[in-house]
Amino acid sequence: YAPSAAFAYAPSAAFAPSAAFAGSTASRVGVPQPTSSEPMRRRVVRDVVGQTNGELSLRKDQVVLLLHDPDTGHQSNLQRWVYGRNEESGEEGWFDLADTVPQESPGGEQ
């Protein structure tokens, strides 16, 4: 039995980066980064209800900071789980990258 490719399992909270590691650039090697040292910001495109303890629940148009991408070598695959922080609530957890798009800054950069 092989699960559908459209369904992806979120990583367990046990795989979340430690506080010391989450802020390091080592967790984001290969991920396109803004010119500053700030984490990548992404805008949520649809409401998402977290299904497990380690997943973020998000509302459309909220902004999340991408803190850790365990699949840094697979930028073309948007169907992957990444770890981030909801800017509005401050909660951290896993979310599906496909539920977000790059956040445009006022200057037109990400």
**pLDDT, tens only, 41-88:** 999 999 999 998 899 999 999 999 999 988 776 666 677 899 999 999
Report the pLDDT value the prediction gives residue 18, as an integer from 0 to 100.
Answer: 55
Q: Is the pTM of this model over 0.75?
A: no
3-state secondary structure the chain: CCCCCCCCCCCCHHHCCCHHHHCCHHHHCCCCCCCCCCCEEEEECCCECCCCCCECCECCCCEEEEEECCCCCCCCCCCCEEEEEECCCCCEEEEEHHHEEECCCCCCCC
Cα-based angle 107, 64, 99 (whole degrees, multiple of 5): 105
Chain mean pLDDT for the chain = 74
List residues bridging with 101 in a β-sheet.
43
